[in-house]
């Protein structure tokens, strides 16, 4: 087991945002958290990253955790070429056991020489997400948390980026946060359904799409494009 979250509770002021959230992440697993906007998905990510106060237990056994946001452009420096930024991220880890940078770049389907010349604004949204994945490989992260990584991308590009995540399963586990049940269908090994800060169910992907355990899971599935499957 790579990550254990037990009875996670988060309050903002007096508002109870996460209510006894518990789940585990295994090695080399793609775990998806799905729920509508405001259900507390990003708050789970922030708690794992140690960015907010919480009650409960978060136990992590891996090396580095890497977080990828919906709009990675905000986290890249406009003044440096992209290659040098991947290098900086790698070198920020003291004894980096991460992958060779050029290998990481090739693995996510980008071109080394091009990234040495290009600045963030010259990359598409899909390419920027790939850069983030390359960064996590170069760092040697054992867990990647991606918060709505494809929400601002065109549908076809979304599939590309999700496919890139899928191909990285040998290298790290990922938590893919999404409001889009289609993303879950495409990428996840297991899915956790969240509503109003409460876990509704945790299921293997195939079981979920065959027959969701929770009422809310059923509702999500009924309202998706996949309801015909
Ligand atoms: P999601 O990512 O599923 O859309 P969030 O985790 O961002 O949901 O938010 C969950 C709830 O917490 C929402 O009701 C949101 O308004 C509230 N919230 C998020 N961040 C803060 C904050 N910094 N202060 C107060 N309330 C917040
Ligand atoms: Mg969010």
Helix ranges restricted to H, the chain: 41-48, 82-91, 101-107, 112-117, 125-139, 155-167, 181-187, 205-210, 215-222
Cα 113 to ligand 2 centre (Å): 35
**pLDDT tens-digit profile, the chain (229 residues):** 999 999 999 999 999 999 999 999 999 999 999 999 999 999 999 999 999 999 999 999 988 899 998 888 788 999 999 999 999 999 888 776 899 999 999 999 999 999 999 999 999 999 999 999 999 999 999 999 999 998 888 888 888 899 999 999 999 999 999 999 999 999 999 999 999 999 999 999 999 999 999 999 999 998 887 655 4
Query: Probe ligand 1: pick from 38, 149, 177, 183, max atoms within 8 Å of CB?
Result: 38
Q: Is the dihedral of CA 148, 153, 159, 163 positive or negative?
A: negative
Cβ partners under 8 Å of residue 62, min gap 6: 2, 3, 141, 142, 143, 173
CA distances for 43 relative to 60, 68, 114, 162, angstroms = 17, 14, 36, 22
Sign of CA dihedral 20, 23, 189, 52: positive
CA distances from 121 to 76, 82, 110, 117, 226 (A): 9, 10, 16, 12, 35
Q: Which atom of ligand 1 is nearest to the CA of 15?
A: 26
Q: Do the strands 198-204 and 190-195 form a parallel or antiparallel pair, or are they unpaired?
A: antiparallel
Residue in the block written with tokens 């789970």: 44
Residues with CB under 6 A from ligand 1: 12, 17, 35, 37-43
pLDDT score at 97: 80
Distance of CA 228 to the CA centre of its chain: 27
Mutation probe of ligand 1 site: the residue of 9, 10, 12 with most atoms within 8 A of C-beta: 12
CATH tag for 1-62+172-229 (out of 3.40.50.300, 3.40.50.10860, 3.55.40.20, 3.10.20.30): 3.40.50.300
Q: At 108, list the tokens.
A: 């996510």
Residue 118 · residue 82 · CB < 8 Å:
yes
């Amino acid at each position: 087991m790579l990550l254990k979250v037990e009875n996670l509770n988060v309050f903002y002021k007096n508002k109870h945002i996460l209510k006894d959230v518990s789940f585990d992440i295994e090695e080399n697993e793609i775990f998806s958290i799905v729920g509508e906007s405001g259900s507390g998905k990003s708050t789970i990510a922030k708690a794992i990253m140690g960015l907010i106060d919480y009650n409960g237990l978060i136990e992590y056994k891996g090396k580095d955790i890497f977080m990828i946001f919906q709009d990675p452009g905000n986290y890249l420096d406009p003044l440096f070429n992209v290659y040098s930024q991947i290098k900086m991220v790698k070198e920020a880890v003291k004894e980096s056991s991460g992958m060779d940078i050029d290998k990481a770049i090739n693995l996510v389907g980008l071109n080394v020489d091009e990234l040495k010349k290009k600045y963030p604004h010259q990359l598409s949204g899909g390419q920027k997400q790939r850069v983030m994945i390359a960064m996590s490989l170069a760092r040697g992260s054992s867990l990647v948390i991606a918060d709505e990584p494809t929400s601002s991308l065109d549908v076809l590009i979304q599939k590309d980026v999700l496919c890139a995540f899928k191909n990285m399963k040998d290298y790290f586990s990922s938590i893919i946060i999404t409001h889009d049940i289609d993303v879950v269908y495409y990428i996840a090994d297991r899915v956790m359904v969240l509503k109003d800060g409460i876990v509704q169910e945790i299921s293997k992907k195939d079981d979920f799409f065959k027959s969701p355990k929770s009422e809310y899971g059923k509702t999500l599935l009924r309202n998706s494009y996949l309801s015909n499957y």
